[in-house]
Amino acid sequence: MNRLIKASILILGLLCLSDGSLAQQMVLTTSMTSPLSKEDQTGFYDQVLIEVFRRVEQRIKITHLPTERSITNANLGISDGEFPRISGLDRLYTNLMRVPEKIVDFEFVAFTWRSDIQIKDWSSCKPYNVTIVRGWKILETNLADVRSLVKVKNQKLLFSLLGKHRTDIVVYSRFEGHEMIKQLGLKSIWVLDPPLATREMFLYLNKKHLQLVPVIAGQLRSMKHDGTYDRILQETLGPYLKETTK
């Protein structure tokens, strides 16, 4: 462990002793689902963040909320943080601070049942009826001028509409999309490549945890360097990585 990380943990420990603010379990919220985040905390994001916070002796609990409520609760301080989000959201949610080390590169992809659709970028979606989950800011911004844009409350409804051919395209995360297709038993639905966007995704913490931001960033970098991150990736997403690259 390098000197900077050791010093950060020591400072964090002193803060805990002085005011007790970090002694209690922190609550992080997300709208992600299997295989990225699961109710039993065994998803990819869950395991990465549990290990990151374990390294600074901070207990966390991950809870699942609708997309918009998840980030709003973190901004209001009802929860302690929210993930995963693109950079720049601290300009919209001013009580949040981005941990400046990405959790993952996230692929936003389009799924369809129509064999005649080809997608290469956001503008390719313009002639079609598109459905997304409400609260995904990058999608709301980049798909504002499509033929019609429907926003639904969760991913189950999203893919149910696609399975019933009530929308041309849904845009969602690659891993979760494949999992939802499998769970719903949908047939003849596929992903359109290339991805509409690949973005670095981050953890945001409420500003009351300002002192934790550089410490968590340092620990996440350390996990990537010592092999822990790759081990968790293979343990949680290994089968999906094989499936989505066939």
Q: Looking at the structure, tell me whether residues 56 and 31 fall in a common domain.
A: yes
CB neighbour list of residue 37: distance below 8 Å, 6 or more residues apart = 30, 43, 44, 45, 46, 62, 64
Q: Looking at the structure, tell me whether residues 185 and 211 fall in a common domain.
A: no
pLDDT in tens, 183-238: 999 999 999 999 999 999 999 999 999 999 999 999 999 999 999 999 999 999 98
Q: Looking at the structure, tell me whether residues 99 and 205 fall in a common domain.
A: yes
**Confidence band for 135, pLDDT divided at 50, 70 and 90:** confident
User: Which range marks the domain in which residue 144 is found?
Assistant: 106-198
Out of 165, 182, 198, pick the residue that ends a domain. 198
pLDDT in tens, 54-92: 999 999 999 999 999 999 999 999 999 999 999 999 999
Counted domains in the chain: 2
Q: Looking at the structure, tell me whether residues 119 and 80 fall in a common domain.
A: no
Say which CATH number the domain at 115 has. Answer: 3.40.190.10
Q: For residue 176, give the nearest of 246, 81, 106, 101 by alpha carbon.
A: 106
Q: Looking at the structure, tell me whether residues 17 and 96 fall in a common domain.
A: yes
Average of pLDDT values for 238-245?
65
Q: Looking at the structure, tell me whether residues 192 and 209 fall in a common domain.
A: no
Find the radius of gyration of the CA atoms of the chain.
19
First to last CA, the chain: 38
pTM for the whole structure: 0.79
Q: Looking at the structure, tell me whether residues 98 and 8 fall in a common domain.
A: yes
Q: For residue 33, give the nearest of 244, 240, 246 by alpha carbon.
A: 240
